[in-house]
Amino acid sequence: MSDDQSVPGTDDDPRERRGAEHLPPEGVDEATIAAVGKLTEALEMVDQARGLLYGFHRLTGAADLALGEASDALRDAGHAEVADRLEAELVGRNVIEGRWTFQIVEDYDETYWEPFRAAERATREQLVAGRRHLAEAAMKEDRRTHGARHHEARPSGGA
C-alpha cells in the first residue's frame, strides 16, 4: 500500500478515533479548552527556557574547566604569572553576585518552574479533568486527512 492510500476498514478502526484522554470532558466549552491550551503553551515556553538555562549552566561549567586546563597549560609553557592571574581572577568565579550557575538553576526551579508546573496542572485538573493537549488534539482532528495512512488519530496501540 502506498502512503496516500486509505487505512483499511476506517469505519471501525480505533486509530481513526481520538482516545478519551484527548476528548474534552462533558460540558467543557471551546473557550475553556483554548484558555487551558494557552496556559499549557506558556508552560512549554517555560520548559524550553529552563532547558536553555541548563544549557547555560553546562556550558559555563565546561568553560570554567577548560579555563583551568588553559591555565595549567600556560603554567607548563612557562607563563606562571599569566596562569596565576587567570586562576585568581576567573577560575571558579561567580557568574552573578554570590552564585554559580547551579544556584541560578536551583533558584529558577524552586521560585518559578515548579510553581508554574503546579499551577498549570491544578488548572487542568480543575477545568478539564486533568486532560492534556486538548487544543492540539482538536487541531490534529481538523488538519489530518481522515482515513489516510499516516494521518490516523492515534497509533494502533491506542495512545
Q: Are 131 and 124 in contact (CB under 8 A)?
A: yes
Q: Are 67 and 88 in contact (CB under 8 A)?
A: no
- What's the pLDDT at 10? 62
- What's the pLDDT at 1? 43
- What's the pLDDT at 157? 72
Which residues is 148 bridged to in the sheet? Answer: 6
pTM: 0.80
Low-confidence ranges of the chain (pLDDT < 70): 1-11, 158-159
| Region class of 70: left (phi > 0), else alpha (psi between -120 and 50), else beta | alpha
* Cβ-based neighbours of 116, under 8 Å, separated by 6 or more: 42, 43, 46
Q: Where are the alpha helices (DSSP H) in the chain?
A: 30-76, 80-89, 101-108, 114-128, 134-143
